[in-house]
Structure 1
Amino acid sequence: MENFFRRTGIDVPEPVRRFLQGEAEGGLRVEEYRDGNTLVVRTDIPGIDPDHDIDISVTDETLHITARRTEPDVKDLPGYRSEVRYGEFSRSVPMPWGANPETVVASYIDGVLEIRVQLPEHPGGPATKVHVSRGRNQSPDAPENYVT
C-alpha cells in the first residue's frame, strides 16, 4: 500500500495511511508480569519527554496510561517519510485485588516506561465457606412458593 501511495504521488495524511495499512490501533502495547510482590507493567514509548508527554493515574482499581508523541518539524521537508506513529496513545490495565494505588511508581529509561505497583503479600482475603442446603431456599427474602 505504501508503494502505491509513493508511486502515484498521493499525499495521504498519517492517520489515514496507518488505517489503510492496518495500523489503526491507538493503544499502547504492554507487557505485564509479577516480580515477587510487585506488578510490573512496561511499554515502549521512544522519543518523548516523560515530564510532559506521559500521564499516569489510578481510578476504580485501574491503572491508566496516556502518552503523546508529536510529529517533528521536518515533516514538510522534501523526501520526508515516516513509519513512526504520532498522536495520543492510551491503555488501561486492571490492577489485581489488594493493590495499593499509593505505591505506584514509574520510571522512563531508554524509551521504556516501567510502572511498578506493590501487591499484598497474601492476595485475597480468607476464603468463606458457603453452606449449601437441601430443599427450600432459607432466605428470609425468598417468596414462599419459590423452590430451589
Structure 2
Amino acid sequence: MNSIIRRAGSDITEQWRRFLEGDLGSWLRVEEYREDGTLVVKAEVPGIDPAKDVDITLVGNELQIEVRHEEKSEHKDKRGYRSEFRYGTFSRTVTVPGPVDEKDIRASYDDGVLEVRIPVPDDAQAAARKIPITRGTGTGATGSGTGTEASTAQT
C-alpha cells in the first residue's frame, strides 16, 4: 500500500493518505474557509498551552500544524488510587493557495480554538488570461511572411 501512495505522490489528499495508511487517530480535524481574502483554518484543541504544545510551520506552499496534548487525572478514595494518562500528537497539513510570506500568517488561541489566518491572493488577480497563438512552423517563427496570421490569432 505504501508503494502505491509513494508513486501517487502529492495527487492524494492528506485525508485519503492517512486513511490508506491507517493513521486517522493522529489526524487533527480542522475547518477551512475563506473570509475577505484570507484562508482561515480552525481546530478545536481544548486543554493545551499554545506556547508549549503547538508548532505551526510553513514549508513551501504547505502549512503544517502539530498539536501535542497531555492530560493526567488522579483519583484517591478508601478503596485505592487510580490515575489515568491521555496523550498524543495530532497533525494536519493544509495546502496554501499561492505564495505566502510566513510573516503575514497570524495564529491565535482562544477558548480551546486554534485559529490560523493566511492571506491569499484575490481570485480576480489569479484569473485566467488568454495566451495569443501565432501561426507558423512551431519553432517560434512569426509565420509565412504576411504577418496577418499573427494579428488574426490575437483577437
TM-score, scaled relative to structure 1: 0.63
Q: Which amino acid aligns with 2:101?
A: N
* Contact kept? 1:97, 1:123, Cα under 8 Å: no
Q: CA RMSD in A?
A: 3.1
C-alpha separation in 2, matches of 1:123 and 1:97: 11
- Offset, 1:27: 1.0
Is 1:35 the equivalent of 2:41?
no
1:1-148 equivalent positions in 2, closer than 5 A: 24-74=24-74, 77-78=81-82, 86-121=87-122, 122-124=124-126, 127-129=129-131, 131=133, 138-139=138-139
C-alpha separation in 2, matches of 1:74 and 1:130: 72
C-alpha separation in 1, matches of 2:135 and 2:37: 39
C-alpha separation in 2, matches of 1:88 and 1:133: 58
* Contact kept? 1:26, 1:89, Cα under 8 Å: yes
Could you tell me which runs of 5 or more consecutive residues in structure 2 were left unpaired when the two chains were aligned: 1-21, 141-155
Paired-residue identity, %: 37
- Offset, 1:100: 3.4
Moved over 6 A (4+): none
**1:41-84 deviation per Cα after TM superposition (whole angstroms, max 9, x unaligned):** 00011111001000001011111100001131538943x678xx
Secondary structure class of the residue paired with 2:51:
helix
Aligned pairs, number: 114
* Contact kept? 1:100, 1:117, Cα under 8 Å: no
C-alpha separation in 2, matches of 1:23 and 1:92: 14
- Offset, 1:23: 8.8
C-alpha separation in 1, matches of 2:33 and 2:75: 38
TM-score, scaled relative to structure 2: 0.61
CA distance 1:132–1:71, change in 2 (3 Å): farther
C-alpha separation in 2, matches of 1:34 and 1:131: 35
